Structure 1
């Protein structure tokens, strides 16, 4: 029976990966920061073995790595420490080498990470974006060089961005005013990906590493929606009207001074949308935005205060 280590196990990607691996009869070691949290206890009730710590905690990682055959690695950005994510990856992979049982690694980074080899080329115009992607790119390089069978997963825009507290970082007014203010053009289409679907890919790769060896998969989800379409779906799910406001160029320039994620809204429409044709042959089922909103209706409604 194979055994796997899931880092950031209580995140939506990690939880989904854990659940699917356990359902296939695998053993799972789950690295969690708070083993008494509801999310951690839910993993434990599924059959996962909990280890308290994170990828910066070398003793915890070492303990969680014992007897493990494969790893799902997801690193957490730290904008006050640009080297944090690469250190997390180095810690996990060093422990993997020391354990002597690990053969495969699946790492989840972010869409477009491979667009530039050197992300300093956008630093002058998009400093936050440059740091974010340079960090993700560094993690990918470390994984490729580690000597394990590896697969890189690059998720696109996640549907969980509509569940608190995440909207506060992207659309600060949304949770209090039911209005989404964006710097995207009106005709821009944003891909919508369920984090649980990232888990189905990660679990499949971990269970059959040779089939996915060396693959670098961009996951975008089943549909790309305009913001007019997004607010229509949100309005239906919430039961109250959600509106969208498109910033002018002047408003965008002002917003970039205080809302760091506006960089992504300005930059994304300038780069080509990259679909991974290889994904079709693997037969994954992708959750639609409407399906996600129905499943997460309570959380979606709580996010905007129409349900407590």
Structure 2
């Protein structure tokens, strides 16, 4: 049977969820991965090695693929260039429809610096001639507990801004719905959020209530935020991304709640309290 659906990022948290869900429904797929040895062993799945920046390998790996789930690449300084190269390879290979995991509020001058890369990737897809669907997920709700420091403080310059964070499970379920009927979603942009928008003060209180830790939120200044994060060695663009996560919240750019998860999946998205109350395997977000 010819495999006409491909999934990138199958060794990661989001792509892996989608790949497993497709396999559970008996859908044949091709997993595009950097390291085939790490690819999940799934019924109906074949594996092809490629990277976003290797155009020749990507063209070969995408041969015969009609629909592609393009999970955004790992955060690097040259991620946008890698995205553009991969989009070009997909078009050259004859891919008809790309479902791209973008970011909520993607715009050329978004406060969250990495949202700008997503915008320009979207624009490259629009110009590619391929059909597209954009899944603009908000910040991952799964990650919020991991933002709390060892001192039980959640810190950043978010002020009283609100955040409509969404679980990776809900993003994966939304992606699955699109991939099962891609033609119904061609040209669509979905803003994927949780069911509520919370301040970081409220987030800290919910985490405290469910973990028993005395978690509090400290509203840093921007200068203090950069200073506190310099304990980790990182390039300047990475510090900008870390800090602008919070300033985007302060600016109100991640606050609006949508019904797009429910529209795609048929069920309401999971909120922070419900997520923390449920059992979870230990996993890095």
Q: Does 1:66 align with 2:40?
A: no
Structure 2 CA distance, aligned partners of 1:6 and 1:269? 34
Q: What TM-score does the superposition give when structure 2 sets the normalisation length?
A: 0.81
Partner of 1:223: helix, strand, or coil? Answer: coil
Change (3 A) 1:160 1:78: same
Map Cα deviations across residues 220-265 of structure 1 (whole Å, 9 max, x no partner). Answer: 1122223233223323443433232233x4xx32323545322232
Partner of 2:41: helix, strand, or coil? Answer: helix
Task: Report matched runs for 1:151-300 at 5 Å.
Answer: 151-162=133-144, 167=146, 171=147, 174-185=148-159, 187-247=160-220, 249=221, 252-257=222-227, 258=230, 259-260=239-240, 261-271=242-252, 273-276=255-258, 280-282=262-264, 283-295=266-278, 297=280, 299=282
CA RMSD of aligned residues (A): 2.9
Unaligned runs of 5+ in 2: 231-238
Map Cα deviations across residues 258-301 of structure 1 (whole Å, 9 max, x no partner). Answer: 4532223223322353444565544244223234324454538x
Partner of 1:287: helix, strand, or coil? Answer: coil
Structure 1 CA distance, aligned partners of 2:77 and 2:91? 29
Shift of 1:46: 4.9
Equivalent residue in structure 2 for 1:99, among 83, 93, 99 = 93
Is contact 1:55–1:88 with CA below 8 Å preserved after alignment?
Answer: yes
How many residue pairs get aligned? The number is 271
Is contact 1:158–1:192 with CA below 8 Å preserved after alignment?
Answer: yes
